[in-house]
Structure 1
Amino acid sequence: MSDDLFLPRAEPTIAERPAPAWAKKSLPKSKAAVRTKTKVSARKYFAPNDPHEHAHKIAEGVIDAWHQNFGGTSIDIPIGTVAALALLRNPPGLADWILNLQPHQLPQLFKEIYLGYWVKRPDLINRAMRLHDWAWNPDPDTQQLRAVHAVAHRAINTGLLDLTGHNDPYMRSESDVLSPLLTGLRHKSDKKWRGEYHTPPCVTDLLAEMLVDKDFAGQGKAIREPAVGSGAMLRSVAQRLRDLGLNPHDYHWYGNDVDSLSAACAAVNAIIWDLGPGTLIGCADSLATEDGGYAKTRAEAQDAFKWRDDAMGTATTIAAHRRAFRLVDQLMPDKEKASA
């Protein structure tokens, strides 16, 4: 359709009037008129010097984004979103790439993150099940996905990857981003009946400094926390060991909590803080069992690794069969030509 049809009937000397909005919609779009999708970039966030204050700022922003976008009452979802992002290292361009994903693309990203760590630590990822099982929902709620999208944007733009994305485990262990998020999202009455009060990091850091010294060195020693919460005490002890030139991998770590969501956060934090292969996180009532649930947790971990090994063995067999079938398909035409 010609633009001339929408010009006023006037003398040529009079300036042409722009076509009305309703007419513009019917005009064919030229290549120049096609608008390209605007790319979103992570803004530079001036983080507080105190990493604990920074973690609180991230939690406040995430909570605000979740509620403003009507995410609902399932607090596992925003916590699981932040936990998945906190498991990532932070190469250049990663933040911008994530920010340009659409809401429906985020569950697949989170599944790949958790599955990647499941191959290494199936016991800890199984313990964190509450944080990621929602991502496998085949029919997700679109409003919740929009809220998840808003949470991811707020977390990244508030500097989450700057806090947790370091290659150096000491740097990413300077704070706990999940503790203030968990306690901030839970209702006051819920925290009261659970008796859930996380120890402030300044207290756990002081305790670790008082209790751990060079004499604590030696492989095989164990650090146990019967009410681990999200792992604050474990983090402080690990940092203290590193300050003393010791390696957390040389120790056994056992954290237990009666609340499954707190235990899930502790399991993810154990990976973020790189506590090492001797780490077990349980979910049991420490007062109801003689060993604080240790035997049960150890058995669950062994089952998780066996399940992982069986699944990986099956996957390897399937992959080998597929390669064999492709090779046969490639060779068949040559055989047919030779017989002809």
Structure 2
Amino acid sequence: MSDDELFVPRPATPAARPVPAWAKKSPPKSKAAIRTAPKVAARKYLAPSDPHEHARKIAENVIDAWYQSFGGSSIDIPLGTVGALALLRQPKEVGSGLADWILNLQPHELPQLFKEIYLGHWIKRPDLINRALRLHDWAWNPDPDKQQLRAVHAVTHRAINTGLLDLTGHDDPYWRSESDVLSPLLTGLRHKSDKKWRGEYHTPACVTDLMARVLVDKDFAGPDMAIREPAVGSGTMLRSVAQRLRDLNLNPHDYTWYGNDVDSLAAACAAVNTIIWDLGPRALIGCADSLATEDGGYAQTLAEAQDAFKQRDDYVDTASAIVAYRRAFRLLDQLMPDKEDVPA
């Protein structure tokens, strides 16, 4: 299978950009959130006009909710919770119905919701959802820790009530790409000594936005260009470049994207963000040491992606065969007369 067969860009016409919800009003607050999660303090919150500041506030509230609820040291769980919610779409025209429905779910119902969200995106991009395994692996635990579920419940309420879906719920990827919620959440959840040991210092979004504006123009960004980031983190640099391309009326789907990071949790966040920001079918996220291989791990990442798509196709073919067999047996039962109707 060639690269072109696996990652085929679909055409897209840039649409007029609506005014983002976060710039017009405060995020909706649900009475149900206060009723079902009494330990989570209600806050009168006004979304900042700056989407990067808004993302930072969401991260702060999620971190506060996680540790106040004694969620523990498994930071992949709150990251995976926010990642799943950020993959949902709540278009402006439908109002806050989706958010209200989620806020009425009980703690034990949330893992099933998150599994369905990740599985829904696995059908389209199995490679990216496989890369994000650390963010949703916990949801498949048949015997989850009840205290962690209460913490997940608190995180869900705090993220939604602080306006997460105002940033990530748009149908238009332009507005979904205005900020990176997972970057401040990942760096905020990690202990300072852990970040120092890893050498993990994410470039601020304001800096990556400036770099993209300076470096990318219509002459530079030709068709079929490859955009690579050897230390991708959660993908903030890729987001800035994608937004710059859209500002120039260029389609990110026409480009090849490759981000790589030695940290599997950062790569998992970048994989989820690649879907949120709609970088296109030729976007790959790897997890490897960029300095250890000549191509920065690209060949290995491409091979893993192709394997993921093949595995998905095999599963779909098996499921289709099972459905076909069941239909055939039902039809056979309808055609065959009952034994008591057969003449002796």
What TM-score, normalized to structure 2? 0.85
Matches within 5 A, 1:61-140: 61-90=61-90, 91-92=94-95, 93-140=97-144
> What is aligned with 2:238?
234
| More displaced stretch, 108-117 vs 212-221 | 212-221
Cα distance in 1 for residues equivalent to 2:132 and 2:323: 28
Q: CA deviation at 1:45?
A: 4.9
- Helix, strand or coil at the partner of 1:300: helix
Q: Residue 188 in 1 paired to residue 156 in 2?
A: no
What do the CA deviations read for 1:270-323 (whole angstroms, capped 9, x no partner)?
A: 000000001000000001111101111011001100111111100111111122
1-side partners of 2:340 and 2:163: how far apart?
Answer: 61
Q: Does structure 1 retain, via aligned residues, the 8 Å contact 2:33–2:157?
A: no
Q: Equivalent residue of 1:216, what SS?
A: coil
How far is 1:250 from its partner? 0.2
* One-letter amino acid of the structure 2 residue matched with residue 198 of structure 1: H
1:58 aligned residue: 58
Q: Distance in 2 between matches of 1:55 and 1:312?
A: 37
Quote the Cα distance in structure 2 between the aligned partners of 1:45 and 1:324.
57
Identity of aligned residues (%): 83
Residues 1:339 and 1:63: Cα distance change in structure 2 (over 3 Å):
farther
Aligned residues, how many? 303
Summarize the Cα distance change of 1:324–1:183 in structure 2 as closer, same or farther, 3 Å threshold: same
Deviation at 1:199, TM superposition (A): 0.2
| 301-310 or 320-329, which deviates more | 320-329
**Residues 17-32 of structure 1 mapped to structure 2, 5 A cutoff:** none
Tell me how far apart the structure 1 counterparts of residues 305 and 173 of structure 2 sit (CA, whole Å): 23
Q: Which moved more, 1:278-287 or 1:323-332?
A: 323-332
Which secondary structure does the structure 1 equivalent of 2:291 belong to? coil
Residues 190-247 of structure 1 deviation map (CA, whole Å, 9 limit, x = unaligned): 0001000000001000000011001034321000000000001000000000000000
Residue 26 of structure 2 corresponds to none
RMSD between aligned alpha carbons? Answer: 1.8
Q: Match of 2:153?
A: 149
Question: SS where residue 228 of structure 2 aligns?
Answer: strand
Distance in structure 1 (CA, Å) of the matches to 2:339 and 2:164:
58
Q: Secondary structure at the match of 1:71?
A: coil
Equivalence map 1:208-287=2 (5 Å): 208-287=212-291
SS at structure 2 position matched to 1:40: helix
Give the Cα–Cα distance (whole angstroms) in 2 for the partners of residues 318 and 138 of structure 1: 25
Task: State the 1:47 CA deviation.
Answer: 1.0
Give distance in 2, aligned partners of 1:41 and 1:152: 9
Give the letter for the 1:128 counterpart: A
> Partner residue of 1:40?
32
Partner residue, 2:309: 305
SS for the counterpart of 2:285 is strand
Residues 58-97 of structure 1, C-alpha deviation per residue, up to 9 Å, x if partnerless? 0011000000110000000000000000000014310011
Identify which range, 312-321 or 162-171, moves more after superposition. 312-321
The answer on whether the counterparts of 1:228 and 1:263 sit within 8 Å (CA) in structure 2 is yes
Distance of aligned partners of 1:174 and 1:336 in 2 relative to their CA distance in 1, 3 Å threshold: farther
Residues 339 and 95 of structure 1: CA distance in aligned 2, closer, same or farther (over 3 Å): farther
When residues 69 and 243 of structure 1 are mapped into structure 2, their CA distance, relative to the original with a 3 A threshold, is: same
* Residue identity in the other structure for 1:259: D
Q: Tell me, which stretches of 5 or more residues in structure 2 are unaligned? A: 1-29, 35-41
Q: Structure 1-normalised TM-score? A: 0.86
Judged with a 3 Å threshold, the aligned counterparts in structure 2 of structure 1 residues 142 and 207 are, in CA distance, closer, same or farther, namely same
- Are 2:47 and 2:54, in contact at CA under 8 Å, matched by a contact in 1? yes
The structure with the largest alpha-carbon Rg is 1
Q: Structure 1 312/204 Cα, relative in aligned 2: closer, same or farther at 3 Å?
A: same
Gap runs ≥5 in structure 1: 1-37
